[in-house]
Structure 1
């Protein structure tokens, strides 16, 4: 996120947010993006959406529900050549490390 805010790619990609209240008083959030750069932006966007969902649910006195993120066009974006299995494993390892750090905070 610290890098995302200073280097935008094109215009805004987030098109629509929809909050829905479930019968069990859980607040669900669906986000629609016109395009998504999955390596450079998606993880930061998902963390931001999760924080937004948590904030709105907390302020409204509701339980947390699901977060759904839809992209009209999704791209793997940091390599000029095709992605291989090793690249995906590295990306997943980075995600899991970030999740552990977030869970510990």
Structure 2
């Protein structure tokens, strides 16, 4: 480093923001979606039941066929999409539908171009 200038200025940390950061599993702060709903196929459901693989993961319900409905609250889509793509075809985004549609568009582009 060159021309380093040290300042004595400080700032007051917002306790509200600090609590939000410390209270989440998310790597991102800002531009979060309030919730993402996922359906997990029963073939891979055990992985999600044993431990949280997604940030702020909550089990909503176990369906009769063994599938799971999960929600991830206050997360950035990029944190969830990577796990969903890794688990294709056993994981899909139910809501917001735009995330699932965008992933399908990216996959089609990859396969056909």
TM-score (norm 1): 0.31
Which has the greater radius of gyration?
2
Structure with the higher fraction of residues in helix conformation: 1
Q: TM-score, normalised by structure 2?
A: 0.30
